Structure 1
Amino acid sequence: MALPNRGGGGRMNPRFNRQPEPEHRINERIRVPQVRLVGDNVTVGVYPLEEARKIAQQQELDLVEISPNADPPVCKVIDYKKFLYEKKRKEKEMKANAKQSEVKEIRFTPGTDDHDFDFKAKHAEKFLKDGNKVKAYVQFKGRAIMFKDRGELLLLKFAERLTEAGVLEGMPKMEGKRMLVMFAPKSQKKPVTPAKA
């Protein structure tokens, strides 16, 4: 049996079609009697709104409300598109920097063999060279906790292996049933080769 057509024909709801509101009120959207004006080539002070708009127009810039809750609201004379571009660029940079300082984990057991050790060391070197921190730990299960010294030796050997790429942030320490160390990336400075005579 066919279901009755409820109408609507799959049209988008017009409420969701509207352009998003700009982050700041600018130019004609500012609706207050007076504003505190700031910006380059501007005498800072309180101005009637119309006068502030004229000052922005004379410089072929925008009047942008940057602190709407101040009394009176603070407006800046700037190129709004450039302002938004700079803001986005800074946010992108901050995200990139936040991404760089991720902590990558490398897990060992007291019985990790040489092949596995090398494989994990190569991964850790890559993480450090990419700007990430590395947390290396030895997981002890059951009676393996008796081999704490073996775990410590393994982590110190690992630290020695990573001296080119990372800096050890402290000696191995126990946290519950794991012994761990942290490595921070070394600043990527190329060694200076002495000039030949």
Structure 2
Amino acid sequence: MNDQIRISPIRLIGAEGEQHGIVPTSQAMEMAREAGLDLVEVAASERPPVCKIMDYGKFKYAQSKKQAHKTHQQKLKELRVRPKTGTHDIDTRLNQARGFLEEGDKVLIKVQFRGREMQHIEEGRRIIEAMLVKLADCCKVEKSPSMEGKQMTALLAPKGNK
């Protein structure tokens, strides 16, 4: 960057991406100073090396933002249903779960039982098993369905761990 470029001449690219051709390094530095920008070596292995006039601070900031945007923190998403939940509502929950799994998040499926519903635990197990079968193509079961108090839970993880 700037005074660290020792080789002369260089192939120069302007601030807007225009080609200036092969110019002496001192002339390129002068052009960068006049524009109030930095002269940055972008391809050192080429002959002559390629340099670009740009705002180096802004460039580094944009690169760090891109890098931070790429990383995805895995989250745990929870989907709750009841034993009497209708099939259309369960399909909607399946679509939500599929979206979460494709984004790389884990999904906790919960069937909550209230009052007399506790006498029909097999209905809740049937719902969870059906959901697991329909999601089998995009997930793996990390924790199989089990009762925890008044709720039955199953934990799913994305198949292609990102």
Q: Given the two structures, how large is their TM-score scaled by the length of structure 2?
A: 0.56
Deviations 1:130-171 (A, max 9, x none): 333221110111222222222122211110010112211121
Equivalence for 2:148: 175
Equivalence for 2:91: 118
Equivalence for 2:4: 59
Equivalence for 1:87: 64
Give the SS at the match of 1:164: coil
Q: 1:180 to 1:86 in 2, by over 3 A?
A: same
Identical aligned residues as a percent: 31
- The one-letter amino acid paired with 1:147 is H
- The one-letter amino acid paired with 1:136 is I
Deviations 1:63-117 (A, max 9, x none): xxxxxxxxxxxxxxxxx635544433332223xx12xx23322211112232322
Equivalence for 1:158: 131
- The one-letter amino acid paired with 1:132 is D
Equivalence for 1:50: none
Query: Which has the larger share of strand?
Result: 2
Say what the alpha-carbon RMSD is for the aligned residues: 2.8
Q: Given the two structures, how large is their TM-score scaled by the length of structure 1?
A: 0.47
- The one-letter amino acid paired with 2:109 is A
- Higher RCO (CA-CA < 8 Å; seq separation 6+): 2
Equivalence for 1:184: 157
- 1:180 shift after superposition: 0.8
Residue 129 of structure 1 is aligned with which of 88, 96, 102?
102
CA distance in 2, matches of 1:91, 1:121: 30
Q: Which runs of 5+ in 1 are unaligned?
A: 1-55, 61-79, 189-197
Following superposition of structure 1 onto structure 2, how do residues 18-57 of structure 1 map, counting pairs within 5 Å? none
